[in-house]
Amino acid sequence: MKPIKQNRQQAFQKDRENRGRLLITCPDQPGIVAAVSQFLSSHRANIIESSQYSTNPEGGVFFIRIEFECPDLESKRELLQASFDDIAQNFSMDWKLFFVKELKRAAIFVSKELHCLRELLLEWESGDLMADIPLVISNHPDAKDFVESFGVPFVHIPANKNNRQEAEQQQLRLLEEYDIDVIILARYMQILTSGFVEAYAEKIINIHHSFLPAFVGAKPYDRAFERGVKIIGATSHYVTNDLDEGPIIEQDVKRVNHRDQVEDLKKNGKIIERSVLVRAVKWHIDDRIIVHENKTIVF
């Protein structure tokens, strides 16, 4: 573990040892915010940040994210969870309570293109990606030296359409062994089976170029160049069994023109991909995302 990252993680965890986050989805109706606020106040919790959204004040769906400080939070863990359940049932809430000092454990999956992997590990090493990364898995050996230079275990599991089930069983065993909370597909060029996706529902984050569905398949940048595209971009989303159609977390674009060649498009595409993926991952580990149907609310 690098000193900068270790120091920042320890400082983060100490500073937030009494910090919690509450994410709620429920039918919109009067009294929700008052009830939640009163509940937190009754446990001497102080609200640090609160963001909310309603699809429709009359008969819509209500979403709220609250970050709070609560003295001796760890000792109140079971009490908070048990006592809040009464409020949750009264308002038909789907809710999650997170303890901020407990860093999420992320596994990165990668193939041969390493630009997103590099960005993630550099952000992590500097202490700007506040998570644990105990494992990188790849279906190619190309990233081994780079990953291990960060002190992160690298596991090469060859995977293709002929051995997909066997490869995924190895991967799932490792994910369980390392107690992984979120999987980041940093240009992992394999299709995941439905069983794998269901095992980590809303916990697998992917990145792809934003030519989909216009230029699916091989050599999308070549075909985009032939069509004279004027905008390139990237999309990060949660993985579902509908290929590349999961809930979108973040997107970005950049204008290009007739002077840009295929290699220029690819270079700029990589720049956008790595920044979009890092933002999406940070929002996930900061508990800023609520998934509703096939959309996300990002606070």
Residue 244 among the catalytic residues: yes
Q: How far apart are CA 236 and CA 207, in angstroms?
A: 4
Separation of alpha carbons 201 and 183, rounded Å: 10
Nearest 10 degrees: Cα torsion 52, 185, 274, 288:
10
How far apart are the C-alpha atoms of 247 and 239, rounded to whole Å? 8
Residue 47, phi then psi, degrees to nearest 5: -75, 125
Query: Is there a cis peptide before residue 213, judged by omega within 30 degrees of 0?
Result: yes
Measured distance CA(189)–CA(219) in Å, rounded: 13
Cα separation, 42 vs 45, whole angstroms: 7
CA distances from 169 to 155, 166, 175, 229, 298 (A): 14, 5, 10, 41, 32
Catalytic residue, from 244, 252, 264, 286: name it: 244
For residues 64 and 32, is the Cβ–Cβ distance under 8 A?
yes
What angle (nearest 5°) sits at the alpha carbon of residue 208, between those of residues 204 and 213? 115
Q: Are 137 and 174 in contact (CB under 8 A)?
A: yes
Q: Mind telling me the catalytic residues?
A: 244
